[in-house]
Chain A
Amino acid sequence: AQTVTQSQPEMSVQEAETVTLSCTYDTSENNYYLFWYKQPPSRQMILVIRQEAYKQQNATENRFSVNFQKAAKSFSLKISDSQLGDTAMYFCAFERSGNTGKLIFGQGTTLQVKP
């Protein structure tokens, strides 16, 4: 069975600085997808970034980028130029290929951006 682990329950960063959130996962699959979702205080889940396992190039979305290390089964999220609106809980999630839409989530990391 696949598992996703986020070992940092809480983190904080000063506005405009850079922060990295960690995620590791365990799977025997070769093809899969990894995601980072953001949950602000409004509780709405929002997709931040997505990575396909067979793509070696790390995904980037504006200030958000990932460091995907397939052999190490690591998938960290880097937030550059942190903004107050980035304050949220961040979830790492795994989906194996197979057309089920099933996501396995990590425990979450609460990020506080300080002014």
Chain B
Amino acid sequence: NAGVTQTPKFQVLKTGQSMTLQCAQDMNHEYMSWYRQDPGMGLRLIHYSVGAGITDQGEVPNGYNVSRSTTEDFPLRLLSAAPSQTSVYFCASRLAGTGGEQYFGPGTRLTVT
């Protein structure tokens, strides 16, 4: 199993550009999430999904869009990049239910200039 994969690993965008961060998992996990990590703030939830076709907002959803058309994939779209979106982005997945281990991807470091 490849686990949770994310592409790209690094990305530089100009203000106003759009892009999609890719996330895929091959563990047949129902739950998938996107977090952003900023210094001194830990990880904050952007969007999450409990199954294909079902998504919901997390703590910091503004400026981001998600969809989940398959169990395996959960892309994160930046609609119009802003310098405040400079961060490290993590995708995670886990089995349905409460208290299970989250499996994280390797992260994408995004810089918006």
- CB pair A50–B90 under 8 Å, yes or no, is no
CA distance A99 to B32 in the complex (A): 12
Number of residues of chain A lying within 8 A (CB) of chain B: 25
Q: Indicate if the CB atoms of A9 and B107 lie closer than 8 Å.
A: no
Q: Which of A14-22, A68-76, A77-85, A104-112 contacts B (4 or more CB under 8 A)?
A: A104-112
Question: C-beta contact mask, B52-94 vs A, less than 8 Å → 1, else 0?
Answer: 0000101100000000000000000000000000001010101
Whether A101 and B42, one on each chain, are in contact in the complex, defined by CB atoms closer than 8 angstroms, is no
A50 touches B99 (CB 8 A): yes
B41 to chain A, nearest CB (A): 6
Given A33-B98, A43-B88, A47-B101, A102-B42 contact (CB < 8 Å): no
- A103 at the A/B interface (Cβ < 8 Å)? yes
> Which residues does chain A contribute within 8 Å of B102, judged by CB atoms?
45, 47, 101, 103
User: What's the Cα separation between A33 and B97 when bound, in Å?
Assistant: 12
Known: A52-B99, A99-B97, A100-B50. A91 touches B31 (CB 8 A): no
Main secondary structure of the interface of B (DSSP, over half): strand
Q: A97-B98, A99-B50, A99-B97 are in contact. Are A105 and B44 (CB under 8 A)?
A: yes
B42 and A107 within 8 A (CB): yes
| Docked complex Cα distance between A52 and B35 (Å) | 23
Contacts of A52 on B, CB cut-off 8 Å? 99
Q: Are B98 and A91 in touch, CB under 8 angstroms?
A: no
A106 to B107, CA, bound (A): 18
- A residues sitting closer than 8 Å to B (CB atoms) are 4, 6, 9, 33, 43-45, 47, 50, 52, 91, 93, 95, 97-108
Can you spell out 22 A-B residue pairs with CB atoms less than 8 angstroms apart? A6-B42, A9-B40, A44-B104, A45-B104, A47-B102, A50-B99, A91-B42, A91-B43, A95-B98, A97-B99, A99-B98, A100-B48, A100-B50, A101-B31, A101-B96, A101-B100, A102-B33, A103-B43, A105-B35, A105-B42, A105-B44, A107-B41
For the complex of A and B, list the 10 residue pairs with the smallest distance between their C-beta atoms, beginning with the closest.
A101-B31, A105-B42, A45-B104, A33-B99, A105-B43, A97-B98, A107-B42, A47-B101, A43-B107, A108-B42
